[in-house]
Amino acid sequence: MTQNIPDTDIEFRQWGSNFVLQCQAHAAELGLSPADLAALGEVSSGCVQASTNLERARAAYHGAVATKRIAFEGAEATYRRFAKQFMANPALPVSVLSALGFGVTPPQTSSVTTPRDLAATGFSNGQNRLVWNRSGNSKATVFLIEALFGGSSEWIQVGATTKSKFDHAGHIPGVQVIYRVRAQRANAISSPSNTAILYAKETAHPEVLQKAA
């Protein structure tokens, strides 16, 4: 007769529990003393407790991994949001961007060209759609969208993108707004594009608003 003691944890624990149970049921026949039965019960209970502790540790580990992943994903999204904001700020010097950990290149006077053919379309939901010609600027070029509202003479940056289009939301239809676009790469910034005007004050008739696509 061979001793077929299982190798896997679950089967070993089940086999051991049955072994101890049968020893207790046939103690007299097997010649087992109370001390023997106590020793058998102790090792069986130890196996069960060790297995329970392991399962709890595994569950805690998987929970910790999930928590770490959520924390890292949230941190990365926040870092990227601020990084995009900083990179779009033409007033920040290269030294500051480098200290923040961004790979930046020295200023180049000929790295960008002026965007052209800027056009704007206003929609009834307050969204203004801008499109322009990249003028040969690379895909990594950031375009700074600036606007003049009402009768103001101060240009305000309302957005930044690497694409050749931009949707400016939250505008009040009928209120004059003038847009222009600059190209930026590293510390080089182009001269402004042509301007695009929506709801010009001198317009005799209200502009027809479109519905956003």
Q: What does the pLDDT look like over 91-139, one tens digit per residue?
A: 888 788 888 887 655 555 457 999 999 999 999 898 999 999 999 998 8
C-alpha count within 13 angstroms, C-beta hemisphere, residue 209 = 16
Q: For the chain, give the percent of residues with pLDDT over 70.
A: 90
Q: Which pLDDT score, from 0 to 100, does residue 106 have? A: 53
- Is 149's pLDDT higher than 80? yes
Instruction: Give me the mean pLDDT over the 177-198 stretch.
Output: 92
Q: Which pLDDT score, from 0 to 100, does residue 115 have? A: 96
Closest-CA residue to 183 (of 149, 139, 127, 150): 139
Closest-CA residue to 156 (of 174, 180, 185): 180
Dihedral pair phi/psi, residue 62, rounded to 5°: -65, -35
Mean pLDDT score of the chain, rounded to an integer? 85
25 band by pLDDT with thresholds 50, 70 and 90: very high
Q: pLDDT tens for residues 26-48?
A: 999 999 999 999 999 999 899 88
- Is 183's pLDDT higher than 80? yes
Q: Which pLDDT score, from 0 to 100, does residue 211 have? A: 55
Q: Which pLDDT score, from 0 to 100, does residue 180 have? A: 96
Close Cβ partners of 147 (under 8 Å, ≥ 6 residues apart): 155, 156, 158, 168, 177, 178, 179, 180
